[in-house]
Amino acid sequence: MFAYIVRRLVLMLVTLFGISVIIFVLLRVVPGNIVDILFDAAGFVDQADKANLEKELGLDQPIFVQYVKWIGGLLHGDLGYSYVSEKPALQEILPRIPITARLAALALLFSAAIGIPLGVISAVKQGTRLDYALRVVSLSGLSLPSFWLGLLILMASVAMFGTMPIFNPNPATWTEAFAIYCVPAMAVGFRSAALTMRITRSSMLEILRQDYIRTARAKGASESSVNYHHALKNAVLPVITVIGIEAAFLIGGLIVTETVFNIPGVARFLVEAIRWRDYPIVQNLVMLIALVVVVTNFTVDMLYAAIDPRIRYTD
């Protein structure tokens, strides 16, 4: 087990290194840079001033030298300075991380709390009207884009209350925070809940056909004990995989959700930084997302061994 963990940690470092190289090179081979954008916005181009600005930002140096400086600063906690605001990148990113983290955590909580129980009910009631109704709901969740659902919520709020919900990044109490975050979290988590429900249903149907389930029923075990203790416990592994993947790639849904609800989070900030070619912000945010993805995958693998005693990672 220890050797497996060490191998996974080394693989994580190699993955992060590869991602850092790819994003760094791609940002600089894409036509246009921050200097071009700034001078185009000003309406004139002075080649001497442009060269001085490129030298000041370090963009006149070879890509390899720029990369080494960035990685060296990253290892020492220096994320550089934003080209647009001229503030430290860490100062720009840190206040936005808790906002996106709360939104993502609440969306995942909504996904698991709604998707897993409904998936179990749909499997147990297979072929009934309730099963068909829940399957329609799951298909709707997979079909509706999160940004369109968010717009519908805003339009409904205006129609019923005459105003749109105003996002407050600094709520006074946890109840106020829950009220502020729950609507956008449900908008982005609806698709994840639908996917979780379908995976739970499929996995449960497969497990309920196993011989040991029939044996448990023959021994007089109650339906709730069979469904939740015997079946769900063994059907949960694919569900954990889906939840882990959704947690890792939730940033894709948060980009449009934060934009629609005007939430000053990491995802929306990343889009703005890409548009302005703000290299330090984009590089550091992509590395943060990559770190979340690899750590989530590692955590899912460890949960496999903790939940299912049949899984053992040998040295």
Classify residue 307: in a domain, yes or no. Answer: no
Whole-angstrom distance, CA of residue 122 vs CA of residue 141 = 15
Strand, coil or helix: 312: coil
| Residues comprising the chain, all counted | 315
What are the distances in angstroms from CA 268 to CA 177, 265, 293? 19, 6, 18
Retrieve residue 237's tokens: 């592994």
What count of Cα atoms within 13 Å lies in the side-chain half-sphere of residue 100? 29
- Are residues 243 and 127 located together in one domain of the fold? yes
Which of 245, 255, 274, 249 is closest to 150 using CA atoms?
255
Distance of CA 86 to the CA centre of its chain: 28
CATH number at residue 167: 1.10.3720.10
- Are residues 190 and 257 located together in one domain of the fold? yes
pLDDT at 72: 86
Amino acid at 112: A
- Are residues 75 and 107 located together in one domain of the fold? no
pLDDT at 199: 92
pLDDT at 197: 92
The range of the structural domain enclosing residue 159 comes to: 95-276
Classify residue 304: in a domain, yes or no. Answer: no
pTM over 0.95: no
pLDDT at 152: 81
What single-letter DSSP state applies at residue 81? B
Q: What average pLDDT values come out for the chain (315 residues) when binned by 10 residues?
A: 80 89 81 65 62 71 84 83 83 88 88 90 90 90 79 77 67 76 83 90 88 84 80 83 80 76 85 81 86 85 73 60
Classify residue 169: in a domain, yes or no. Answer: yes
Cβ proximity of 171 and 180 under 8 Å:
yes
Phi and psi at 81, nearest 5°, equal -120, 145
Number of domains in the chain: 2
The set of residues, in sequence order, having a beta carbon less than 8 Å from that of 194 and lying 6+ positions away, is 115, 137, 138, 139, 140, 141, 142
Classify residue 295: in a domain, yes or no. Answer: no
- Are residues 208 and 164 located together in one domain of the fold? yes
Question: At which of 44, 68, 92 does a domain end?
Answer: 92
**Helix 146-161 with 250-260: angle, nearest 10 deg:** 30
Question: At which of 92, 109, 129 does a domain end?
Answer: 92
Whole-angstrom distance, CA of residue 64 vs CA of residue 6 = 29
pLDDT at 129: 92
Whole-angstrom distance, CA of residue 71 vs CA of residue 21 = 10
pLDDT at 164: 64
- Are residues 195 and 65 located together in one domain of the fold? no
Classify residue 109: in a domain, yes or no. Answer: yes
Retrieve residue 107's tokens: 């969306």
- Are residues 198 and 251 located together in one domain of the fold? yes
- Are residues 17 and 62 located together in one domain of the fold? yes
Whole-angstrom distance, CA of residue 165 vs CA of residue 149 = 15
